[in-house]
Amino acid sequence: MYKKILLTVLGIAALSLAACGGSEATKPDVDDKSVGTGTGTDAGVSGKSLDTKGKADLLAKRRVYFAFDSSAVDAENRAIVEAHAAYLAANKNIKVVFEGHADERGTREYNLALGERRAQAVERMVKALGLTADRIKTVSYGEEKAVAMDHNDAAWALNRRVEIIY
């Protein structure tokens, strides 16, 4: 009897762990053009100078994507955040909201906390680039505002994001 219970508990634990894992999806190639363009040239923290078209392309992207179970901003997304920080620094009357999101895997509470960590990671970056706290708001929606409803790696990758709203 004890062995059956132990095997059942171990089986459930193994299935739970297997359900939480998964292969990491590659970042989707999304063309998000929800904002106007910037002008001039600028160099961000990465030290790379951006021409007008390059800066405009980065400003057109309003979503910062994250790896599975991570709040680290990778190099590609760092350039997006730097471009928005430069734009906001040049336009001191604009306030910004960073909305953190997560995919559907994990508990509701965990995903809310992960979305918050993601929004705060972007907030820390723009503060380091000169924006003041009174112009920034962060909010987490966890898994509640998914942009892709499928249950696969591609959809989950689209839902692991921070939306830049201004």
Tens digits of per-residue pLDDT, 42-58? 444 444 455 677 889 99
Tally of residues, the chain: 166
3-class state of residue 72 by DSSP: coil
Radius of gyration of the chain (CA): 19
Given a contact cutoff of 8 angstroms between Cβ atoms, the answer to whether 116 and 140 are in contact is yes
Q: Name, in order, each residue with C-beta under 8 angstroms of 113's C-beta and a sequence gap of 6 or more.
A: 140, 142
Q: What angle do CA 31, 36, 42 make, to 5 degrees?
A: 95
pTM of this prediction exceeds 0.75: no
Phi, psi of 131 (to 5 degrees): -75, 145
Q: Is the pLDDT of residue 148 over 90?
A: yes
- Which tokens hold the place of 39? 């002008």
One DSSP character per residue, 7-31 reads: HHHHHHHHHHHHHH--PPPPPP---
Tens digits of per-residue pLDDT, 21-78? 444 344 444 433 333 333 333 444 444 455 677 889 999 999 999 999 999 999 999 9
The sign of the torsion formed by the CA atoms of 72, 77, 83, 84 equals: negative
